[in-house]
Amino acid sequence: MLVEEIMNEDPVYLHAGDSIEKALKYIDQHKIRHIPIVDENHILTGIVSDRDIRDASPSIFHTRSQEEHLKKAVSRIMSVPVITANPLDVVEDAAVVLYNNGISSLPVTGDHDNLLGMVTESTVLHTLVELTGAHQPSSRIEVKANDRPGELAAVTSIFHRKQMNVISVLVYPGRDDVSKYLAFRVQTMDPRDVIHDLKEAGYEVSWPRIPGLNE
């Protein structure tokens, strides 16, 4: 799935000359945490967050100072340069960018840095849950397999023989260099029969742990 399929195509934005007070109003009004800043050609020039406003604000006990501060241009506190995503990035790559940079929003820009949309960590998380099928009635079966060509096909053939639909597959490294863990999300609420067949085929099923089957 691509970023363009999940992004908000009509994000709230401001211009560099708009006031900090306006930014604060938009954040409260639209229940958002980040506002992209664009120029007259809709080119992204910066981004401002609720934290930027909070960190730069005077104490609430200094009323006069706070009023003067809120009238200042948002360009005084916006962050530059801006970490962005491309509409043709895959969602997983956007998730990695959010994770590696410790941020919760990504402006989506075109080839000329024009603002096309916004994607947030909550949207990405929601999408990843849907991609894994974890929100559907299903069972998770985790199989330890040798790290060699053909192993994934061999394991999925067992599900095929049981006429069991595989919703998603995740592959992650084992504790050694010769194995992988295959995490299947399958469309059944009773996986005991297929777990039995997996074990009969010589595979170690690390999840679920069912008394009598994991012995």
Q: What is the mean pLDDT of residues 165-191?
A: 94
Residue where a domain stops, chosen among 129, 144, 172? 129
Task: Count CA atoms within 13 Å of residue 20 on its CB side.
Answer: 22
Phi-psi map region of 102: left, alpha, beta (phi>0 left; psi -120 to 50 alpha): left
Domain that holds residue 189: 135-207
Is residue 53 within 8 Å of residue 20, measured between CB atoms? yes
Tens of pLDDT, residue by residue over 112-147, are 999 999 999 999 999 999 988 888 899 999 999 999
Residue 54 pLDDT > 90: no
Q: Name residue, tokens 């992209």.
A: 36
Residue 105 pLDDT > 80: yes
Q: What confidence score (pLDDT) does residue 60 get?
A: 47
Q: What is the mean pLDDT of residues 185-192?
A: 94
Mean pLDDT of the chain, nearest integer: 92
Q: Are 140 and 104 within one domain? A: no
CATH of the domain at 184: 3.30.2130.10
